[in-house]
Protein backbone atom coordinates (compact mmCIF):
# COMPACT_ATOMS: atom_id res chain seq x y z
CA UNK A 1 0.00 0.00 0.00
CA UNK A 2 1.49 3.31 -1.07
CA UNK A 3 -0.23 6.55 -0.25
CA UNK A 4 2.07 9.30 -1.39
CA UNK A 5 -0.46 11.17 -3.50
CA UNK A 6 -4.21 11.50 -3.92
CA UNK A 7 -4.03 9.73 -7.28
CA UNK A 8 -2.80 6.53 -5.61
CA UNK A 9 -6.05 6.23 -3.70
CA UNK A 10 -8.36 5.05 -6.48
CA UNK A 11 -5.63 2.90 -7.96
CA UNK A 12 -4.90 0.99 -4.74
CA UNK A 13 -8.52 0.78 -3.64
CA UNK A 14 -10.26 -2.58 -3.32
CA UNK A 15 -13.76 -2.72 -4.87
CA UNK A 16 -15.50 -1.69 -1.65
CA UNK A 17 -13.32 1.36 -1.23
CA UNK A 18 -14.28 2.77 -4.61
CA UNK A 19 -17.10 5.27 -4.94
CA UNK A 20 -20.14 3.37 -6.19
CA UNK A 21 -21.94 4.69 -9.26
CA UNK A 22 -25.27 4.63 -7.44
CA UNK A 23 -26.36 4.55 -3.77
CA UNK A 24 -30.09 3.96 -3.26
CA UNK A 25 -32.35 3.59 -0.23
CA UNK A 26 -35.48 1.61 -1.08
CA UNK A 27 -38.27 1.71 1.51
CA UNK A 28 -41.72 0.17 1.87
CA UNK A 29 -43.37 -2.88 3.39
CA UNK A 30 -41.54 -6.18 3.78
CA UNK A 31 -42.23 -9.66 2.47
CA UNK A 32 -40.30 -12.84 1.66
CA UNK A 33 -38.56 -12.62 -1.68
CA UNK A 34 -38.28 -8.82 -1.74
CA UNK A 35 -34.47 -8.87 -1.93
CA UNK A 36 -34.64 -11.58 -4.61
CA UNK A 37 -36.94 -9.41 -6.74
CA UNK A 38 -34.58 -6.47 -6.33
CA UNK A 39 -31.51 -8.51 -7.36
CA UNK A 40 -33.50 -9.56 -10.47
CA UNK A 41 -34.04 -5.88 -11.37
CA UNK A 42 -30.35 -5.11 -10.81
CA UNK A 43 -29.33 -8.06 -13.00
CA UNK A 44 -31.74 -6.85 -15.74
CA UNK A 45 -29.92 -3.52 -15.70
CA UNK A 46 -26.45 -5.09 -15.89
CA UNK A 47 -25.57 -3.81 -12.41
CA UNK A 48 -22.83 -5.04 -10.07
CA UNK A 49 -23.79 -5.17 -6.39
CA UNK A 50 -21.01 -3.67 -4.24
CA UNK A 51 -22.92 -3.58 -0.97
CA UNK A 52 -26.39 -4.22 0.49
CA UNK A 53 -27.52 -3.10 3.91
CA UNK A 54 -30.82 -4.30 5.38
CA UNK A 55 -31.61 -1.17 7.40
CA UNK A 56 -35.06 -2.31 8.46
CA UNK A 57 -36.95 -5.58 8.05
CA UNK A 58 -40.03 -7.27 9.46
CA UNK A 59 -43.12 -5.04 9.30
CA UNK A 60 -41.43 -2.37 7.18
CA UNK A 61 -38.41 -2.66 4.89
CA UNK A 62 -35.52 -0.31 4.18
CA UNK A 63 -32.74 -1.64 1.96
CA UNK A 64 -29.67 0.38 1.07
CA UNK A 65 -27.83 -0.57 -2.13
CA UNK A 66 -24.45 0.49 -3.50
CA UNK A 67 -24.20 -0.42 -7.18
CA UNK A 68 -21.87 -0.09 -10.15
CA UNK A 69 -22.22 -0.56 -13.91
CA UNK A 70 -25.99 0.07 -13.94
CA UNK A 71 -26.87 0.83 -17.57
CA UNK A 72 -29.83 3.14 -16.97
CA UNK A 73 -30.11 4.25 -13.31
CA UNK A 74 -33.50 5.98 -13.81
CA UNK A 75 -34.91 2.80 -15.33
CA UNK A 76 -33.63 0.72 -12.37
CA UNK A 77 -35.24 3.19 -9.95
CA UNK A 78 -38.54 2.75 -11.84
CA UNK A 79 -38.13 -1.05 -11.71
CA UNK A 80 -37.65 -0.91 -7.92
CA UNK A 81 -40.66 1.42 -7.62
CA UNK A 82 -42.75 -1.08 -9.61
CA UNK A 83 -42.23 -3.81 -6.95
CA UNK A 84 -45.57 -4.21 -5.09
CA UNK A 85 -44.36 -3.39 -1.54
CA UNK A 86 -41.93 -0.58 -2.46
CA UNK A 87 -43.06 2.93 -1.47
CA UNK A 88 -40.00 5.09 -2.12
CA UNK A 89 -36.60 5.02 -3.83
CA UNK A 90 -34.07 7.69 -2.88
CA UNK A 91 -30.50 8.44 -4.02
CA UNK A 92 -28.12 8.99 -1.11
CA UNK A 93 -24.43 9.81 -0.66
CA UNK A 94 -22.49 6.51 -0.44
CA UNK A 95 -21.09 5.26 2.86
CA UNK A 96 -17.59 5.89 1.46
CA UNK A 97 -18.52 9.52 0.78
CA UNK A 98 -19.98 9.90 4.28
CA UNK A 99 -17.57 7.95 6.51
CA UNK A 100 -14.60 7.17 4.23
CA UNK A 101 -11.89 4.64 5.00
CA UNK A 102 -11.96 2.79 8.30
CA UNK A 103 -9.06 2.10 10.64
CA UNK A 104 -9.91 -0.66 13.13
CA UNK A 105 -8.26 -0.52 16.56
CA UNK A 106 -8.38 -3.75 18.60
CA UNK A 107 -6.91 -4.24 22.06
CA UNK A 108 -7.55 -3.42 25.69
CA UNK A 109 -6.44 -1.54 28.77
CA UNK A 110 -4.69 1.81 28.86
CA UNK A 111 -3.18 1.34 25.41
CA UNK A 112 -6.27 0.91 23.24
CA UNK A 113 -7.63 4.35 24.16
CA UNK A 114 -4.28 6.03 23.54
CA UNK A 115 -3.97 4.45 20.07
CA UNK A 116 -7.51 5.63 19.26
CA UNK A 117 -6.72 9.13 20.60
CA UNK A 118 -3.65 9.38 18.34
CA UNK A 119 -5.56 8.12 15.31
CA UNK A 120 -8.60 10.36 15.90
CA UNK A 121 -6.43 13.47 16.37
CA UNK A 122 -4.51 12.74 13.17
CA UNK A 123 -7.69 11.82 11.23
CA UNK A 124 -9.21 15.14 12.34
CA UNK A 125 -6.23 16.97 10.78
CA UNK A 126 -6.58 15.09 7.48
CA UNK A 127 -10.39 15.16 7.34
CA UNK A 128 -10.38 18.95 7.68
CA UNK A 129 -8.37 18.97 4.41
CA UNK A 130 -10.96 16.85 2.57
CA UNK A 131 -9.96 13.32 3.59
CA UNK A 132 -12.51 10.95 5.18
CA UNK A 133 -11.07 8.55 7.75
CA UNK A 134 -12.99 6.85 10.60
CA UNK A 135 -11.37 5.23 13.63
CA UNK A 136 -13.35 2.23 14.91
CA UNK A 137 -12.29 0.74 18.22
CA UNK A 138 -13.28 -2.50 19.91
CA UNK A 139 -11.79 -2.98 23.37
CA UNK A 140 -11.44 -6.71 24.09
CA UNK A 141 -9.21 -9.41 25.59
CA UNK A 142 -8.71 -13.15 25.03
CA UNK A 143 -6.94 -14.99 22.22
CA UNK A 144 -10.09 -16.37 20.59
CA UNK A 145 -12.06 -13.10 20.74
CA UNK A 146 -9.04 -11.20 19.40
CA UNK A 147 -8.47 -13.69 16.58
CA UNK A 148 -12.16 -13.49 15.60
CA UNK A 149 -12.03 -9.68 15.65
CA UNK A 150 -8.86 -9.62 13.51
CA UNK A 151 -10.28 -12.10 10.97
CA UNK A 152 -13.59 -10.21 10.74
CA UNK A 153 -11.78 -6.98 9.72
CA UNK A 154 -11.71 -8.30 6.15
CA UNK A 155 -15.53 -8.52 6.26
CA UNK A 156 -15.92 -4.89 7.43
CA UNK A 157 -16.82 -2.54 4.58
CA UNK A 158 -14.22 0.19 3.87
CA UNK A 159 -11.68 -1.21 6.38
CA UNK A 160 -8.12 -0.48 5.19
CA UNK A 161 -5.94 -0.86 8.30
CA UNK A 162 -5.87 -2.63 11.67
CA UNK A 163 -3.96 -1.54 14.78
CA UNK A 164 -3.34 -4.15 17.49
CA UNK A 165 -3.07 -2.31 20.79
CA UNK A 166 -2.00 -4.66 23.57
CA UNK A 167 0.92 -6.02 25.54
CA UNK A 168 0.85 -9.70 24.58
CA UNK A 169 -0.58 -11.20 21.39
CA UNK A 170 0.40 -14.34 19.49
CA UNK A 171 -0.83 -17.83 18.56
CA UNK A 172 -4.16 -17.71 16.77
CA UNK A 173 -4.05 -13.89 16.66
CA UNK A 174 -0.85 -14.10 14.61
CA UNK A 175 -2.47 -16.54 12.16
CA UNK A 176 -5.41 -14.14 11.83
CA UNK A 177 -2.98 -11.25 11.17
CA UNK A 178 -1.49 -13.18 8.24
CA UNK A 179 -4.98 -13.83 6.85
CA UNK A 180 -6.10 -10.19 6.88
CA UNK A 181 -2.77 -8.99 5.47
CA UNK A 182 -3.36 -11.41 2.57
CA UNK A 183 -6.69 -9.60 2.01
CA UNK A 184 -4.85 -6.27 1.65
CA UNK A 185 -5.38 -4.88 5.17
CA UNK A 186 -2.41 -2.91 6.59
CA UNK A 187 -1.50 -4.24 10.06
CA UNK A 188 0.25 -2.03 12.63
CA UNK A 189 0.93 -3.23 16.20
CA UNK A 190 2.48 -1.95 19.37
CA UNK A 191 5.90 -3.23 20.35
CA UNK A 192 4.69 -6.10 22.54
CA UNK A 193 5.42 -9.62 23.75
CA UNK A 194 4.19 -12.52 21.61
CA UNK A 195 4.68 -13.25 17.91
CA UNK A 196 2.36 -10.58 16.41
CA UNK A 197 5.13 -7.93 15.97
CA UNK A 198 7.08 -10.33 13.72
CA UNK A 199 4.06 -10.50 11.37
CA UNK A 200 2.84 -6.88 11.30
CA UNK A 201 3.62 -4.34 8.56
CA UNK A 202 4.86 -1.87 11.15
CA UNK A 203 5.65 -2.03 14.89
CA UNK A 204 5.36 1.21 16.89
CA UNK A 205 6.30 1.51 20.58
CA UNK A 206 4.30 4.61 21.53
CA UNK A 207 0.53 4.00 21.31
CA UNK A 208 -0.39 7.58 20.34
CA UNK A 209 2.21 7.47 17.57
CA UNK A 210 0.90 4.07 16.42
CA UNK A 211 -2.50 5.68 15.83
CA UNK A 212 -0.98 8.74 14.14
CA UNK A 213 1.24 6.70 11.79
CA UNK A 214 -1.59 4.39 10.76
CA UNK A 215 -3.69 7.38 9.69
CA UNK A 216 -0.69 8.83 7.83
CA UNK A 217 -0.23 5.50 6.02
CA UNK A 218 -3.80 5.37 4.70
CA UNK A 219 -4.47 9.09 4.12
CA UNK A 220 -4.40 10.31 0.54
CA UNK A 221 -3.56 13.73 1.95
CA UNK A 222 -0.33 12.43 3.59
CA UNK A 223 3.08 11.98 2.00
CA UNK A 224 4.07 8.85 3.90
CA UNK A 225 4.86 5.63 2.11
CA UNK A 226 4.45 2.51 4.24
CA UNK A 227 6.76 0.64 1.84
CA UNK A 228 9.69 2.68 3.13
CA UNK A 229 9.17 1.52 6.71
CA UNK A 230 7.56 -1.91 6.28
CA UNK A 231 8.85 -4.41 8.84
CA UNK A 232 10.47 -1.65 10.93
CA UNK A 233 10.17 -1.16 14.67
CA UNK A 234 10.00 2.45 15.84
CA UNK B 1 -34.32 2.31 25.77
CA UNK B 2 -33.90 0.70 29.15
CA UNK B 3 -30.83 -1.30 29.98
CA UNK B 4 -31.17 -2.34 33.57
CA UNK B 5 -30.63 -6.05 33.02
CA UNK B 6 -29.22 -8.43 30.41
CA UNK B 7 -32.72 -9.74 29.59
CA UNK B 8 -33.77 -6.29 28.32
CA UNK B 9 -31.18 -6.49 25.60
CA UNK B 10 -32.87 -8.99 23.27
CA UNK B 11 -36.26 -7.44 23.92
CA UNK B 12 -35.22 -3.91 22.95
CA UNK B 13 -33.03 -5.00 20.06
CA UNK B 14 -33.90 -4.00 16.50
CA UNK B 15 -33.63 -6.86 13.94
CA UNK B 16 -30.01 -6.11 13.09
CA UNK B 17 -28.94 -6.21 16.72
CA UNK B 18 -30.26 -9.75 17.26
CA UNK B 19 -27.98 -12.75 16.86
CA UNK B 20 -28.69 -14.23 13.45
CA UNK B 21 -29.47 -17.95 13.24
CA UNK B 22 -26.80 -18.47 10.60
CA UNK B 23 -23.68 -16.56 9.46
CA UNK B 24 -22.07 -17.90 6.29
CA UNK B 25 -19.11 -16.89 4.15
CA UNK B 26 -19.49 -18.12 0.57
CA UNK B 27 -16.37 -17.93 -1.60
CA UNK B 28 -15.53 -18.76 -5.20
CA UNK B 29 -15.34 -17.06 -8.59
CA UNK B 30 -17.58 -14.13 -9.48
CA UNK B 31 -20.13 -13.59 -12.23
CA UNK B 32 -23.23 -11.49 -12.90
CA UNK B 33 -26.29 -12.91 -11.20
CA UNK B 34 -24.41 -14.75 -8.44
CA UNK B 35 -26.16 -12.81 -5.67
CA UNK B 36 -29.51 -13.30 -7.41
CA UNK B 37 -28.95 -17.10 -7.49
CA UNK B 38 -28.07 -17.05 -3.79
CA UNK B 39 -31.19 -15.06 -2.84
CA UNK B 40 -33.21 -17.68 -4.77
CA UNK B 41 -31.67 -20.47 -2.63
CA UNK B 42 -32.38 -18.50 0.57
CA UNK B 43 -35.99 -17.92 -0.52
CA UNK B 44 -36.36 -21.67 -1.27
CA UNK B 45 -35.31 -22.37 2.31
CA UNK B 46 -37.72 -19.83 3.82
CA UNK B 47 -34.85 -17.67 5.07
CA UNK B 48 -34.92 -14.01 6.08
CA UNK B 49 -31.89 -11.96 5.01
CA UNK B 50 -30.65 -9.80 7.90
CA UNK B 51 -27.40 -8.68 6.32
CA UNK B 52 -25.25 -9.22 3.22
CA UNK B 53 -21.66 -8.11 2.88
CA UNK B 54 -19.86 -8.25 -0.46
CA UNK B 55 -16.36 -8.91 0.92
CA UNK B 56 -14.77 -9.47 -2.47
CA UNK B 57 -16.04 -9.10 -6.03
CA UNK B 58 -14.62 -8.94 -9.55
CA UNK B 59 -12.27 -11.83 -10.31
CA UNK B 60 -13.09 -13.72 -7.10
CA UNK B 61 -16.18 -13.51 -4.91
CA UNK B 62 -16.64 -13.63 -1.14
CA UNK B 63 -20.14 -12.95 0.17
CA UNK B 64 -20.99 -12.93 3.86
CA UNK B 65 -24.61 -13.62 4.82
CA UNK B 66 -26.46 -13.26 8.11
CA UNK B 67 -29.76 -15.15 7.97
CA UNK B 68 -32.74 -16.06 10.13
CA UNK B 69 -35.63 -18.54 9.82
CA UNK B 70 -33.73 -20.90 7.48
CA UNK B 71 -35.61 -24.21 7.62
CA UNK B 72 -32.70 -26.57 6.95
CA UNK B 73 -29.31 -24.82 7.21
CA UNK B 74 -27.33 -27.85 5.93
CA UNK B 75 -29.58 -28.01 2.87
CA UNK B 76 -29.04 -24.28 2.19
CA UNK B 77 -25.29 -24.77 2.48
CA UNK B 78 -25.52 -27.58 -0.09
CA UNK B 79 -27.64 -25.35 -2.37
CA UNK B 80 -24.97 -22.60 -2.20
CA UNK B 81 -22.25 -25.18 -2.86
CA UNK B 82 -24.19 -26.37 -5.94
CA UNK B 83 -23.92 -22.91 -7.59
CA UNK B 84 -21.39 -23.25 -10.46
CA UNK B 85 -18.84 -20.63 -9.29
CA UNK B 86 -19.01 -21.39 -5.53
CA UNK B 87 -15.93 -23.12 -4.10
CA UNK B 88 -16.51 -23.02 -0.33
CA UNK B 89 -19.23 -22.31 2.25
CA UNK B 90 -18.15 -21.69 5.85
CA UNK B 91 -20.07 -20.93 9.05
CA UNK B 92 -18.62 -17.96 10.96
CA UNK B 93 -19.39 -16.12 14.19
CA UNK B 94 -21.79 -13.25 13.39
CA UNK B 95 -20.64 -9.63 13.33
CA UNK B 96 -22.76 -9.01 16.43
CA UNK B 97 -20.92 -11.81 18.25
CA UNK B 98 -17.53 -10.44 17.15
CA UNK B 99 -17.95 -6.65 17.45
CA UNK B 100 -21.28 -6.20 19.29
CA UNK B 101 -23.19 -2.93 19.52
CA UNK B 102 -21.73 0.20 17.97
CA UNK B 103 -21.58 3.68 19.45
CA UNK B 104 -20.86 6.31 16.79
CA UNK B 105 -18.94 9.43 17.83
CA UNK B 106 -19.12 12.37 15.41
CA UNK B 107 -17.45 15.74 15.91
CA UNK B 108 -14.07 17.42 15.72
CA UNK B 109 -11.26 19.12 17.54
CA UNK B 110 -10.12 18.41 21.09
CA UNK B 111 -13.53 17.14 22.15
CA UNK B 112 -14.08 14.26 19.74
CA UNK B 113 -11.00 12.40 20.98
CA UNK B 114 -11.94 12.91 24.63
CA UNK B 115 -15.48 11.56 24.06
CA UNK B 116 -13.98 8.51 22.32
CA UNK B 117 -11.45 8.04 25.14
CA UNK B 118 -14.23 8.04 27.75
CA UNK B 119 -16.36 5.63 25.72
CA UNK B 120 -13.45 3.25 24.96
CA UNK B 121 -12.35 3.14 28.60
CA UNK B 122 -15.90 2.39 29.76
CA UNK B 123 -16.50 -0.15 26.95
CA UNK B 124 -13.27 -1.91 27.99
CA UNK B 125 -14.65 -2.30 31.53
CA UNK B 126 -17.95 -3.74 30.25
CA UNK B 127 -16.45 -5.92 27.52
CA UNK B 128 -14.16 -7.61 30.04
CA UNK B 129 -17.38 -8.75 31.79
CA UNK B 130 -18.81 -10.30 28.60
CA UNK B 131 -20.38 -7.28 26.88
CA UNK B 132 -19.42 -6.36 23.30
CA UNK B 133 -19.42 -2.63 22.54
CA UNK B 134 -17.44 -0.88 19.77
CA UNK B 135 -16.74 2.86 19.63
CA UNK B 136 -16.60 4.18 16.06
CA UNK B 137 -15.36 7.73 15.58
CA UNK B 138 -15.46 10.01 12.56
CA UNK B 139 -13.78 13.38 13.06
CA UNK B 140 -15.40 15.94 10.76
CA UNK B 141 -16.65 19.52 10.46
CA UNK B 142 -19.27 21.32 8.36
CA UNK B 143 -23.06 21.31 8.63
CA UNK B 144 -23.71 19.23 5.51
CA UNK B 145 -21.03 16.61 6.28
CA UNK B 146 -22.25 16.35 9.86
CA UNK B 147 -25.91 16.04 8.83
CA UNK B 148 -24.98 13.29 6.33
CA UNK B 149 -22.96 11.45 8.98
CA UNK B 150 -25.81 11.69 11.51
CA UNK B 151 -28.43 10.49 8.99
CA UNK B 152 -26.23 7.59 7.84
CA UNK B 153 -25.99 6.22 11.42
CA UNK B 154 -29.35 4.54 10.86
CA UNK B 155 -27.81 2.67 7.89
CA UNK B 156 -24.84 1.40 9.95
CA UNK B 157 -25.31 -2.19 11.09
CA UNK B 158 -25.43 -2.68 14.88
CA UNK B 159 -25.40 1.09 15.63
CA UNK B 160 -27.35 1.83 18.83
CA UNK B 161 -26.15 5.28 19.93
CA UNK B 162 -24.66 8.48 18.56
CA UNK B 163 -22.59 11.06 20.45
CA UNK B 164 -22.24 14.52 18.94
CA UNK B 165 -18.93 15.96 20.12
CA UNK B 166 -18.58 19.58 19.11
CA UNK B 167 -19.05 23.17 20.20
CA UNK B 168 -21.71 24.37 17.74
CA UNK B 169 -24.28 22.23 15.92
CA UNK B 170 -27.76 23.07 14.68
CA UNK B 171 -29.82 23.58 11.50
CA UNK B 172 -29.69 20.53 9.26
CA UNK B 173 -27.77 18.56 11.92
CA UNK B 174 -30.72 19.01 14.30
CA UNK B 175 -33.15 17.73 11.66
CA UNK B 176 -30.90 14.71 11.13
CA UNK B 177 -30.85 14.10 14.91
CA UNK B 178 -34.66 13.90 14.94
CA UNK B 179 -34.59 11.44 12.03
CA UNK B 180 -32.15 9.00 13.66
CA UNK B 181 -33.91 9.22 17.03
CA UNK B 182 -37.11 8.19 15.19
CA UNK B 183 -35.16 5.10 13.99
CA UNK B 184 -34.41 4.13 17.61
CA UNK B 185 -30.86 5.53 17.89
CA UNK B 186 -29.99 7.08 21.29
CA UNK B 187 -28.52 10.57 20.80
CA UNK B 188 -26.16 12.11 23.38
CA UNK B 189 -24.47 15.48 22.80
CA UNK B 190 -22.08 17.79 24.55
CA UNK B 191 -23.44 20.94 26.14
CA UNK B 192 -22.87 23.22 23.13
CA UNK B 193 -24.17 26.23 21.21
CA UNK B 194 -26.80 25.58 18.53
CA UNK B 195 -30.11 23.75 18.68
CA UNK B 196 -28.82 20.14 18.90
CA UNK B 197 -28.88 19.99 22.74
CA UNK B 198 -32.63 20.72 22.74
CA UNK B 199 -33.21 17.63 20.59
CA UNK B 200 -30.82 15.08 22.13
CA UNK B 201 -31.80 12.35 24.62
CA UNK B 202 -29.07 13.51 27.00
CA UNK B 203 -26.73 16.52 27.18
CA UNK B 204 -23.40 16.06 28.98
CA UNK B 205 -20.91 18.89 29.59
CA UNK B 206 -17.73 16.88 30.14
CA UNK B 207 -16.65 15.03 26.96
CA UNK B 208 -15.07 12.06 28.78
CA UNK B 209 -18.25 11.64 30.83
CA UNK B 210 -20.39 11.90 27.67
CA UNK B 211 -18.54 8.86 26.29
CA UNK B 212 -18.78 6.97 29.60
CA UNK B 213 -22.52 7.62 30.04
CA UNK B 214 -23.35 6.59 26.47
CA UNK B 215 -21.67 3.22 27.03
CA UNK B 216 -23.50 2.84 30.36
CA UNK B 217 -26.80 3.57 28.60
CA UNK B 218 -26.36 0.84 25.98
CA UNK B 219 -24.53 -1.82 28.04
CA UNK B 220 -26.54 -4.82 29.20
CA UNK B 221 -24.00 -5.15 32.02
CA UNK B 222 -24.83 -1.67 33.38
CA UNK B 223 -27.64 -0.67 35.72
CA UNK B 224 -28.34 2.72 34.19
CA UNK B 225 -31.70 3.60 32.73
CA UNK B 226 -31.65 6.41 30.18
CA UNK B 227 -35.39 6.97 30.81
CA UNK B 228 -34.54 8.38 34.23
CA UNK B 229 -32.30 11.10 32.79
CA UNK B 230 -33.80 11.69 29.32
CA UNK B 231 -33.77 15.37 28.41
CA UNK B 232 -31.44 16.25 31.30
CA UNK B 233 -28.31 18.36 31.11
CA UNK B 234 -25.44 17.20 33.32
Q: Of the candidates B32, B98, B152, which has its C-beta nearest A152's C-beta?
A: B98
CA distance B129 to B111: 28
For residues B183 and B177, what is the distance between their CA atoms, to the nearest angstrom? 10
Lowest mean pLDDT segment, chosen from A70-79, A162-171, A214-223, B123-132:
A214-223
What pLDDT is attached to residue B225?
80
Cα separation, B100 vs A137, whole angstroms = 11
CA distance A123 to chain B (A): 7
Confidence of residue A231 (pLDDT cuts 50, 70, 90): confident
B92 Cβ contact list (under 8 Å, min separation 6): A152, A155, B23, B24, B25, B64
Cα separation, B8 vs B38, whole angstroms: 34
Confidence of residue A20 (pLDDT cuts 50, 70, 90): confident
- Nearest-Cα distance to chain B for A124, in Å, is 5
- Interface confidence: ipTM more than 0.90: no
Q: Indicate if the pLDDT at residue B12 is higher than 90.
A: no
pLDDT at A189 > cutoff 70: yes
pLDDT of residue B226: 80
Is B52 in contact with A55 (Cβ distance < 8 A)? no
Tally of CB atoms within 10 A around B71: 10
Q: Is A35 a residue whose pLDDT tops 70?
A: yes
The angle formed by the CA atoms of residues A102, A152 and B116, to the nearest 5 degrees, is: 45
Task: Quote the CA–CA distance of B20 and B49 in Å, as a whole number.
Answer: 9
| Residue B98, CA distances (Å) to A77, A149, B52, B162 in order | 35, 6, 16, 20
| Residue B17 with chain A: CB contacts under 8 Å | none
- Residue B48's pLDDT band, with cuts at 50, 70 and 90, is very high
B51 has a pLDDT exceeding 90: no
pLDDT of residue A13: 40
Q: Is B217 helix (H, G, I), strand (E, B) or coil?
A: helix
Per-residue pLDDT at B214 exceeds 60: yes
Q: How many C-beta atoms surround the C-beta of residue B30 within 10 A?
A: 18
Judged against a pLDDT cut of 90, whether residue A5 lies above it is answered with: no
pLDDT of A211 above 70: yes
- CA B124 vs. chain centroid, Å, equals 17
What pLDDT is recorded for position A14?
A: 43
Percentage of chain A exceeding pLDDT 70:
92
- Please check whether residue B59 touches A, CB under 8 A: no
CA closest to A146 among chain B residues:
B98
Nearest CA-CA distance, residue B36 and chain A, Å = 5
B18 — pLDDT class (breaks 50, 70, 90):
low
- Lowest-pLDDT choice from A105-119, A219-233, B5-19, B162-176: B5-19
Residues of A in contact with B107 (CB under 8 A): none
Per-residue pLDDT of A37-70, as tens digits, reads 999 999 999 999 988 989 888 889 999 999 999 9
CA distances from A42 to A13, A47, A80, B29, B227 (A): 24, 5, 9, 19, 44
- How many angstroms separate the CA atoms of A107 and B184, rounded? 29
Mean pLDDT of chain A: 90
* Chain B residues close to A149, C-beta within 8 Å: 98-99
Q: Taking CB atoms and an 8 Å limit, are B15 and A127 in contact across chains? A: no
Whether the per-residue pLDDT at A222 is higher than 80: the answer is: no
**CB contact (8 A) between residue B117 and residue A117:** yes
Q: Which chain A residues touch B98 with a CB distance below 8 Å? A: 145, 148-149, 152
**A213 in the Ramachandran plot: left (φ > 0), alpha (ψ -120 to 50) or beta?**
alpha
Tell whether A155 is within 8 A of chain B (Cβ).
yes
Residue pairs between chains A and B whose CB atoms are closer than 8 Å: 181
Single pTM value for the model: 0.89
How high is the pLDDT of residue A46?
A: 95
CA angle A177/A3/A5 to nearest 5° reads: 170
Give the single-character DSSP code of B97: H
The angle, 0 to 180 degrees and rounded to 10, between the axes of the packed helices B34-44 and A34-44 is 160
Confidence of residue A10 (pLDDT cuts 50, 70, 90): very low
Q: Does A32 touch chain B (CB under 8 A)?
A: yes
Q: Quick check: A170 contacting B, CB < 8 Å?
A: no
pLDDT surpasses 90 at B11? no
Residue A216 has pLDDT above 80, yes or no: yes
Of B33, B52, B136, the CB nearest to A52: B52
Give the pLDDT band of residue A227 (cuts 50, 70, 90): confident
Amino acid sequence: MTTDGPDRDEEAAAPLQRRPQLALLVEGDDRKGLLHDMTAAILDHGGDILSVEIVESGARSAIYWELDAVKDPESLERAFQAIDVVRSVRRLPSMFQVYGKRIIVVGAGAQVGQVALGAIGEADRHNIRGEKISVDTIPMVGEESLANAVRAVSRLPRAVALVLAGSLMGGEVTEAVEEVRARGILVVCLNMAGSVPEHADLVVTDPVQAGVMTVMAVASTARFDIERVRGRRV
